[in-house]
Structure 1
Amino acid sequence: MSKQTITLTVNGAELVFEPTTQAYNKYINELTMDDKVAPAHNYLNRIVATDGKDALAKLLAMPGAGLKLAAKVNEAFIPELEISVKN
C-alpha cells in the first residue's frame, strides 16, 4: 500500500502530512472531554513531513490552528462511507 500524502497550503506555507491509520487511531484515543488541543498538536507533529516541522510549529502557536489543521487533514484522509440501517 502506498503512503498517502496530504498537502495543505496555510498562510503561504506548504505543509505535507503523511497520515496513517495507526496515527489517526492514536489521535482519537488521546482525545478527552478536557483535552483536545494537545492531542491535535501531537497528531500533526507525528504526521508532518520533516521539512514542514518548523512551519507547523509557528502555525500551532496560533489559537485554534491545531484543531483546524487536524480537521482538514482528517477530512481528506478518512474515507466517505455510505451507511444505511436495515431493520
Structure 2
Amino acid sequence: MKITLTINGTDITFEPTKLAYNTYINDITMNDKIAPATNFLRRTVLAEDKEKLNEILENHVGAALQIIEKVIKQYAPDLVIEVKN
C-alpha cells in the first residue's frame, strides 16, 4: 500500500509494511517516540522522496510525529470493536 502525503506543498510517498509497522510499535518507549517515528518514516519513504523527507524532518520541529500520525492512520485504521454482555 502506498500512502502519499502533501506536506507543506510537497508530495511524499510512503510504502509501509507489516514488519516496519511492528518494528515501530516495538521500538516506542515512554522516553523515546521521536527516533522510532523518524526511523519508520525513513524506512518506508520511497527512494525518490528520501531527500524531501529529510529536509522536512531537519527543518520542522515535531514533523516526525505529525507525519507518522497520518501515515499510521491510513495504514492501520481503527477497528470498530464492541463489547457484548
RMSD (Å) for aligned C-alpha atoms: 0.9
Alignment correspondent of 1:75: 73
In the alignment of these two chains, the number of paired residues is 84
Q: 1:39-83: CA deviations, max 9, x gaps?
A: 000000000000000000011111100000000001111133111
What is the Cα deviation at residue 22 of structure 1?
1.0
What is the Cα deviation at residue 10 of structure 1?
0.5
Partner residue of 2:43 out of 28, 42, 46:
46
- Could you list the structure 1 runs, at least 4 aligned residues long, displaced by more than 2 angstroms after superposition: none
Structure 2, unmatched stretches of 5+, are none
Q: Where in structure 2 are the equivalents of 1:21-40 lying within 5 Å?
A: 21-40=18-37
Structure 1, unmatched stretches of 5+, are none
Alignment correspondent of 1:13: 10
What is the Cα deviation at residue 34 of structure 1?
0.4
**2:66 and 2:78 mapped to 1: Cα distance?**
19
Is 1:59 the counterpart of 2:56? The answer is yes
What percentage of residue pairs aligned between the two structures are identical? 49
What is the Cα deviation at residue 9 of structure 1?
0.7
Q: TM-score normalized by structure 1? A: 0.92
Q: Relative to structure 2, which stretch is displaced further, 58-67 or 74-83?
A: 74-83
